[in-house]
């Protein structure tokens, strides 16, 4: 029932993250080539990378990391739990994370609205570089992650949540053995 939503969020996060990385790479390469051969770089590269690309690369994968269960976990305290105690610990963790995401969503949305209303920009050489659209990346990212957390909470409450029981160290060792 909720799998299509998770799949859509995962695909969107991967595609957008990949496109942003490719765009950033191309712009930096073009900037370096222009500086080397023309003596002047691509306008506002540092500003674009810092205000748009890096924000997107840092925050867009937030929902995907939870979908793939790749957040840092202190499983040493819960590895022997089963049944109801484990579900309660998972529910508590998901509720805390959802609360943090809701606060971050609220704060970043207010900041984005403020920057949009003021028409935020920076001076980049002789031009005005509009920055207010980049302030919408955090609320969008936090919103996607919050949707994932709400799905997780629903799954725990209905008994549908399975943790997959993966061990990142074992996965890393298996990957190294294949190479």
Q: What is the pLDDT of residues 123-132, one digit of tens each?
A: 877 788 888 9
pLDDT digits (tens, 9 = 90+) for 23-34: 999 999 999 999
pLDDT digits (tens, 9 = 90+) for 130-170: 889 999 999 999 999 999 999 999 999 998 888 765 566 66
Residue 8 has pLDDT above 90, yes or no: yes
Which residue pairs from 78-87 have beta carbons closer than 8 angstroms and sit at least 24 positions apart in sequence?
Answer: 87/156, 87/159, 87/161
Summarize the confidence of residues 62-79 as an average pLDDT: 84
Other beta carbons less than 10 A from residue 20's beta carbon? 18
pTM of the model: 0.84
Domain ranges of the chain: 3-163
pLDDT at 57: 94
Task: Give the C-alpha separation, 156 to 86, whole Å.
Answer: 10
pLDDT at 172: 66
CB-count exposure of residue 146 (10 Å: 0-12, 13-18, 19+): buried
Q: How far is CA 42 from the centre of its chain?
A: 27
Task: Give the C-alpha separation, 94 to 149, whole Å.
Answer: 6
């Amino acid at each position: 029932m909720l799998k299509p939503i998770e799949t859509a969020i995962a695909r969107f996060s991967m595609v957008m993250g990949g496109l942003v990385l490719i765009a950033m790479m191309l712009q930096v390469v073009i900037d370096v080539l222009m500086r080397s051969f023309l003596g002047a770089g691509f306008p506002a590269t540092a500003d674009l990378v810092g205000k748009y690309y890096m924000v997107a690369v840092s925050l867009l994968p937030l929902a995907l990391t939870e979908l793939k269960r790749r957040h840092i976990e202190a499983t040493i305290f819960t590895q022997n739990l089963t049944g109801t105690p484990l579900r309660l610990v998972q529910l508590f963790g998901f509720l805390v994370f959802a609360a943090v995401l809701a606060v971050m969503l609220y704060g970043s949305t207010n900041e984005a609205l403020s920057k949009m209303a003021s028409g935020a920009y920076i001076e980049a050489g002789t031009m005005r570089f509009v920055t207010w659209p980049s302030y919408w990346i955090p609320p969008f990212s936090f919103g996607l992650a919050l949707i994932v957390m709400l799905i997780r909470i629903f799954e725990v409450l209905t008994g549908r949540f399975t943790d997959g029981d993966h061990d990142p160290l074992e996965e890393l060792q298996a990957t190294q053995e294949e190479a």
